[in-house]
Structures are given as C-alpha cells and as structure tokens.
Structure 1
Amino acid sequence: MLKEKKEMQNQTFALGKENYKLLLIGFAIIVIGFILMVGGKSDDPSVFNPEIFSFRRITLAPLIVLFGFLFEIYAIMKRSKTGN
C-alpha cells in the first residue's frame, strides 16, 4: 500500500509546463497561417478572380503553417530544465 502511494506521487506528465506553452504558441502560428490562406473567391462564379494566386495565399501562408508544424515538433522534443 505504501509502495503504491509513493509510485503515484512520483508520476508526472510526459511534457512540462513550458512544453505546453510552446505547443499553444505553435498551434496559434498554424491557425494564423490558415487564416492567411482564406479569401480570394469571386462574387460571380462565372468570373475568374486572379487574387486566389496572390503571394500571401500561395507562398507566405503555407510557409507559416510549415514553420508552425516545425515549431510543434520542437515543442514536443524540447527537454525541460528540471529534466529527469
């Protein structure tokens, strides 16, 4: 019984508090990237709107999303300073 209590007290989360903060930041970066991709539709379906091929939607937003995913990987892999 006593041994079980000690084991329960020694259990910790897989990631530290700092890791979870970094994960939230990475998630926010990804959401910003997807928001930048939105738009460019035409009001009239028979008229082509070249705005869908803007630099922001084709280049910038996907790069921001990719950076967000890379940041998420970093947030997961980062070791906490108190490390076990």
Structure 2
Amino acid sequence: MADKSQLPFGKKNYVLMVIGIGILILGFTLMSLDGEQYGFGFLGLTLGPITVMIGFIVEFFAILTKPE
C-alpha cells in the first residue's frame, strides 16, 4: 500500500516546473514589451511566442519525467 504523504512528483520534476513557469513569464513579458502598435513587432510576433512555446515544452517534460 502506498504512503499517502508521498508527493506525486520528485524534486527534479518540481525544479523543471519552476523553470518552465519562469520561461513562460519571460515569454509573456517579452510580448508585452513590444513597442509596435498592437504588438506587431519582433518581440510580439516572434521572440515572445517562441519563448512561451519553449516554456510549455519544459512544463510538458516536467510532468512526464518519471520521478525517482
């Protein structure tokens, strides 16, 4: 029988999740810093969304990584 106090993820998973959240915050901040009208500049259309996508990929791997 499994111990009820055991966390569902390991330390590595939680570290990856925090890193992924940080990357997501960075990406959304980059998109908001775009000075072009309606966010149609490089930051709003290219760099920000790519950074957000990388953040979601890190979160995906953080969830799927097998805890030790």
Is this a same-fold pair by TM over 0.5? yes
Corresponding residue number in structure 2 for 1:71 = 58
TM-score (norm 2): 0.82
1:58 is aligned, of 45, 49, 60, to 45
- TM-score relative to the length of structure 1: 0.68
RMSD between aligned residues: 2.0
Q: Aligned runs of 1:3-82 on 2, under 5 Å?
A: 10-11=3-4, 12-39=6-33, 40=35, 50=37, 52-80=39-67, 82=68
For the residue of structure 2 that corresponds to 1:65, the secondary structure is helix
The number of residue pairs the alignment matches comes to 66
Uncovered stretches (5+) of structure 2, i.e. residues with no partner: none
TM-fit CA distance, 1:22: 0.5
User: How many percent of aligned residue pairs carry the same amino acid?
Assistant: 36
How big is the shift at 1:51?
7.8
Task: Spell out structure 1 runs of 4+ moving beyond 4 A.
Answer: none
Unaligned runs of 5+ in 1: 1-6, 41-48
Matches of 2:37 and 2:25, distance apart in 1: 24
